[in-house]
Amino acid sequence: MARTILLCAGGTGGHLFPAEAVANVLEERGWRVELATDRRTGDYGSQFPASAIHIVPSATPSGRGPLGKIIAATKLGWGLVRAIGLVRRVRPAVAAGFGGYPTVPPILAAKLWGVPTIIHEQNVVLGRANRLLARFARRIATASSAVVLPAALVPKTAMTGNPIRPAVRDAARIVYRSPQPDGPIQLLIFGGSQGARFLSEIVPAAIEKLRPSLLGRLRIVQQCRQEDLASVGALYQAIGAEAELATFFSNLPIMIARSHLVICRSGATTVAELGVIGRPAILIPMPGAIDQDQLANAETLAAIGGGWMFEEKNLGVRQLAAEMTELFENPERLAKAATAAAGAGRADGAERLADLIDEVAGSGLPANGGAEQIGREEAGA
């Protein structure tokens, strides 16, 4: 009889895509996969390889007033009750969490029911939900050895890398080619489910300021919120720019691979996929995050020359237009950044995390299942 794993992830691409990558590997190894998530899943969960998808009530208490925190705690409490019932029915051999507060009820329920748990952190900074769950997890998997942890957590932590979906690895086979003089320039813009609004405002306005000879070469693909599609489309039409707009692209890895330049946010999954595919990017971290995880992700890629990081608060339309002009007129800079990004990419994260799951389930694999131990500790911890 197949062992069952309960994968738990927040309902955004940044959490679901790594979980999806691991789910594919586990299914190939004979596991039965079930997913616990929240109602935001939508398009991001449509391709998830799970036998069942369970919606568990949850809420985010961070950054709210006293009443908001009480309401969030109540929802999380109700989610825990529902999750306990879910764990009793599913009876997983292991529960694995991929971040976001929707993972808190099912991972805690698994712990209470005696199910071994693993959490995976995609960012350089340990997220709040994972920080809460880390003490209860049997193992902690990280995307980077740069993650700083309390000393008590280091012995049970292993660096696996970020799990990468098969579609991303397929796209990585496409070799980067710099734009040719007077040839088309493929530009991809996306911001995920939460970060697209600012990009819909600043990028079209910056493109409008490009000189006609560059503007005429652009082939734009842009992800927008539903409420922004009409205004962004109207602006591109008014300036004669060739653009394809949508609220969601199911084939985003291929679109990244076909691009000469990507302008995007810097979620952990996005940065990892840029590295595996090897594409240059202008990274604009989401502002306002308590832990500034996207800023840390962007700084990591920019530091090795794989892209260019600009904080939203400091980035103006004219500056972005000037940066695009400089890059398009000097395509060797794009090619150099593509090579640097590819040098940082790691495509085996899903297999390494699956090895760790097999280890925790008691399959007899060697300790760490091929994952690397890490030893970074918080100063003074």
Note the pLDDT of residue 289. Answer: 65
The sign one gets for the Cα dihedral 79, 81, 86, 91 is: positive
Whole-angstrom distance, CA of residue 103 vs CA of residue 331: 43
Mean pLDDT by 10 residues, the chain (381 residues): 91 88 96 92 73 86 73 84 95 96 94 96 88 95 86 93 93 96 96 84 97 96 95 97 94 96 94 96 87 88 96 96 97 98 91 96 50 41 34
- The residues, ordered by sequence, that sit 6+ positions from 53 with a Cβ below 8 Å of its Cβ are 34, 35, 37, 41, 45
Note the pLDDT of residue 144. Answer: 84
Note the pLDDT of residue 378. Answer: 42
Contact of 172 with 257, CB cutoff 8 Å: yes
Whole-angstrom distance, CA of residue 247 vs CA of residue 274: 20
Residue closest to 207 by CA, chosen among 196, 198, 216: 216
* The residue type at 280: P
According to DSSP, the residues that pair with 283 across neighbouring strands are 264, 309
Report in angstroms the alpha-carbon separations of 12 from 124, 134, 222, 254, 259: 18, 21, 18, 20, 23
Whole-angstrom distance, CA of residue 191 vs CA of residue 195: 4
The structure's pTM equals 0.83
According to DSSP, the residues that pair with 96 across neighbouring strands are 7, 118
